[in-house]
Amino acid sequence: MKNNQINDKEILKTFGSNVRIIRNNLQISQEELAFKADINTSFLSDIENGKRNVSIISIIKISLALNVDVIKLFEGI
């Protein structure tokens, strides 16, 4: 973490942004990613907008659906 401070909102925003960037780079819709990750589309939208604190299970499902290492979702945090 930067400066040894934890800012919950920034963590959620950065995580969500990483998900969105990777998804867009793969040229897949939110609906397709949500289906592949077995999560609700509105839940995924909230994740990408930094509005949800995501469980480790959902994080792993998203990383598998995006075919990336989990650590990629946390870059910049």
Give the integer Cα–Cα distance in Å for 68 and 11.
19
The pLDDT, as a whole number, for residue 37 is 98
Q: For each of the domains in the chain, give its residue range(s) and CATH number, in order of start.
A: 2-74 (1.10.260.40)
pLDDT at 6 over 80: no
pLDDT in tens, 15-54: 999 999 999 999 999 999 999 999 999 999 999 999 999 9
In this prediction the pTM is: 0.91
